[in-house]
Structure 1
Amino acid sequence: MDQSRVHVGNLSTIRPTVNFANRSVSLPGQQWGPRTIPDSQLLYVVSGSAVLTLGNQQIHLAAGDCVFYGSNSPHKIISSVADPSTLASIHFSWDQESPKPISPIGNILACSDNELTLPTQTYTIDVDGYGNFVLPNHFVISDLESYFNQVIREYRFEEKGYATTLRGLMMQLLVVIIRHQINGYFSSTDWRKIAPALEAIRKQPQLDWTIAELANLCGYHPVYFTEIFKETIGYSPKRYLILERIRKAKQYLLEAESIEKVADLLGYSSIHYFSRSFKEITGYTPTEFKQLSIHL
């Protein structure tokens, strides 16, 4: 029997359990490991950069990167000194009868640097209509943050029925990842070509970025830049800028900022224009969104 290969079952019948979920801002140069964990982990880079050593791989991580590894896979993560990372993390078991979390903290074990060269376990899962799917250790999905945030929120607040809800959210997250990989979305190479533009928009969505400015950040002609941006993200750079502004707007509104201040922070010339743009994307006016958030 191949001990380096783990088959977790069929996607339609597994019962994943979220054991731990957190979002953290790392210190410059902060290190986790070398270590092994008792379950499996998905780690998503929200911002900044880090380096993951896993088996014979050294993976340089940036915003939008996601990594996966299971138990008995020695690894080490080091956050960048110059650009510390914000990380969203989920520890989970693939198939457990009970959805109640079992914290992995007491069973995370230190290992030596020499053990980092050991082979990494490969995880496979049967997907109806596709066959045996191999979960990659490293992949890029631009819009994964919201799925992680849902899991983290549910885990933190422990509202009634939270364990069952976590199971449903974890299934949703796994399906999103599997679909993206099967359909071949967002290769790492294409993502890195436009990474400087994505980071600029993320850090300063209030600026009225032109295609030429964003293309220049990536070192490409505007026409070519626009083509690879749309192929990779699914939106034009201008549309992506609008979506990023609205994403930030929702965050500011949830933090109880006034509508006028949010419009100003995000570079809108008028509240009317901001409100129209917000409703087009979300289906709600900023006022309606603020009122709904009180009851969430």
Structure 2
Amino acid sequence: MHQGNQTISEFFLLGLTVVSEQQQHIFMLFLCMYLVTIVENLLIILAIINDAHLHSPMYFFLGNLSFTDICFTTTTIPKMLADIQSQSLIISFAGCLTQMYFFMLLVDLDNFFLAAMAYDLNITICHPLHYAALLSPKGCVLLVVTPWVVSNLVSVLYLSLLGLLNFCDQREIPHFFCDLETMLRLACLDTQINDLTILVIGGSVIFIPFTFIFVSYSLIGCTVLRIPSAKGKWKTFSTCGSHFLAVALFYGSIVGVYFPPSSAYSAERDKVAAIMYTVVTPMMKPFRYSLRNKDMKGALRRLLIREIYFWRW
């Protein structure tokens, strides 16, 4: 990137606005949250791989979602923790682009996998007799491969348009990671094309899966209301409610960052919302989606017993 004859090779991440006395507390808090996220998602993936009872479409999607969440948190949190410890604010331009690429890729993948899980739940409750036909192994693979292709194309498009911009002497990024919207505010040139692309392409990538999720849960709600047993209604609503809370938390924080009116922009508010969907939401998803599930708890119990027995001998 050039501004006149000057090549901009690095930026400065300002990170979280905390006083020096609180930095170690913040470091320990986010380190613990990061480790909890990694461990619980890894346990879910291992349980799904090792337990034949979990070899079904629902857990296939859940395993992919857990893998995505591990990568998602790893894209931003370790760098933030390293910056807190080293007091270094520098990130290279190449590093910034790499972080943005994986961040946007994994956010989009989360959208699609949440939609795939809503579709699975919809078929399970509303069309149980057609489950095997509608969610065949080939169909499940297609529902995973297609999001990877689309998300990669969208991320490459964003970065290609960003590469056409020149950046001003202002190189301070008021965030704890390189975010597309924040980077565009540092550009010297008109970013109208970038903004339009984010609105149309980015809006579609978020709006289409969200609409699919909303319609799926609406159909599930209509089906559940026709269940004569109050116990059956409560059990189904409890399962769907856990899923819906995780979805609402994820989409609510994203909309709060990327789709507010420009007059409402606040760097501090963006950081809080970003913490919600980069740290809190990935940590809460396993509790919402699986650790309250009887089959998953049984698989995790068998996995831990097998590992304890192996290490004992």
TM-score exceeds 0.5: no
More helix per residue: 2
TM-score normalised per structure 2: 0.26
TM-score normalised per structure 1: 0.27
Larger RCO, structure (CA 8 Å, separation 6 or more)? 2
